[in-house]
Amino acid sequence: MHLWAVSITIMGYKDQIDLSRLPQHVAIIMDGNGRWAKGKGKLRVFGHHNGVLSVRDVVEGAGELGVKYLTLYTFSAENWNRPSFEVTAIMELLVSTINKEIKKLMQNNVKLNAIGDLALLPKRCHNELQGAIDQTAGNTGLVLTLALSYSSRRELMQAAKNIAEQVKEGTLNPEDITEDVFAQNLYTHNLPDPELMIRTSGEYRISNYLLWQIAYAELYFTTKLWPDFRREDLYEAILDYQKRERRFGKTSEQVN
Ligand code: IPE
Ligand code: IPE
Ligand code: MG
């Protein structure tokens, strides 16, 4: 009897990704921490703690793959309305996580950035964050942006105010207000627009996140809860993104 050696190569999602067509910028709405914890009979805060493990893995996975910008919805302006116990726990988690991860960020050449109304963060949190941003400022790898106390509508409103001020001062003519000028007045002025936006937890909404910036992003929704999301899931989303035809208003024939 002949024995045939059958070699089965199991290709992971990562191996199937075309590295020449990576999204430059991936934005994620990390949702479902509370439900994840509740499902395990634990307090919501337990979910936030476990969500940090997903952040760590996804940041490493994104950097390893060669994604240039990763923007994580970490705390929305609306999240201030949660019970104060939860808000305090999240802010403390933020401080301790930055503290714990800073070494890893330096090792991995990650540049930390933040967008949102950061002045509303507790002082200790703001200082810790700013310290880490300063410390990683010279890093040239993945740009990791945390959206904190973030509201896209407020960002847009603030941009409109800034522009109005410039017009009032006479440094800007209304006819010179272009899309680029507008974008330069957003928190994200130093980031390209995300090509891929991921939301976990089976919710199909944007929740006031990057409304201007995702005008042409590919949207990817998964029912996985954030603490269950790992780099393999990110790779799966990127693979899905690469299967799409991005037409930007043109016909299929034009883009091919
Ligand atoms: C996302 O998980 C984390 C934050 C919004 C801070 P949630 O806390 O929203 O978890 P669910 O959506 O209630 O399950
Ligand atoms: C969006 O999640 C904000 C973050 C992930 C930080 P939420 O859980 O706050 O959003 P909604 O309330 O489901 O829209
Ligand atoms: Mg939620």
pLDDT attached to residue 11: 85
pLDDT attached to residue 160: 98
pLDDT attached to residue 87: 98
pLDDT tens figures, 62-84: 999 999 999 999 999 999 999 99
pLDDT mean across residues, the chain: 97
Classify domain 23-152+193-243 by CATH number. 3.40.1180.10
Spatial CA neighbour of 14 closest among 48, 63, 55, 52: 63
Q: Verify whether ligand 2 is closer than 6 Å to residue 201 (CB atom).
A: no
Task: Examine the pLDDT at 248 and tell me if it is beyond 80.
Answer: yes
Ligand nearest to the CA of 78: 2
Give me ligand 1 centre to Cα 34, in Å: 5
54 is in an annotated binding site: no
pLDDT tens figures, 105-121: 999 999 999 999 999 99
34 is in an annotated binding site: yes
Percent share of the chain, pLDDT over 70: 96
What are the domain boundaries of the chain? 23-152+193-243
pLDDT tens figures, 204-232: 999 999 999 999 999 999 999 999 999 99
User: pLDDT band for position 159 (50/70/90)?
Assistant: very high
Written as one letter, the residue type at 155 is E
User: Edge-to-edge, what's the strand order for the sheet holding 143-150?
Assistant: 111-115, 143-150, 69-76, 25-29, 196-199, 218-221
pLDDT attached to residue 190: 98
Task: Examine the pLDDT at 7 and tell me if it is beyond 60.
Answer: no
Average pLDDT over residues 244-253: 98
Task: Examine the pLDDT at 4 and tell me if it is beyond 90.
Answer: no
Percent share of the chain, pLDDT over 90: 96
Residue nearest to atom 6 of ligand 1 (CA): 75
Residue nearest to atom 2 of ligand 2 (CA): 31
Task: Examine the pLDDT at 88 and tell me if it is beyond 70.
Answer: yes
Decide: 141 and 63 in contact? Cβ < 8 Å: yes
User: pLDDT band for position 5 (50/70/90)?
Assistant: low
pLDDT tens figures, 168-179: 999 999 999 999
Average pLDDT over residues 233-239: 98
Torsion angle in degrees (nearest 10) through CA of 102, 119, 217, 144: -10
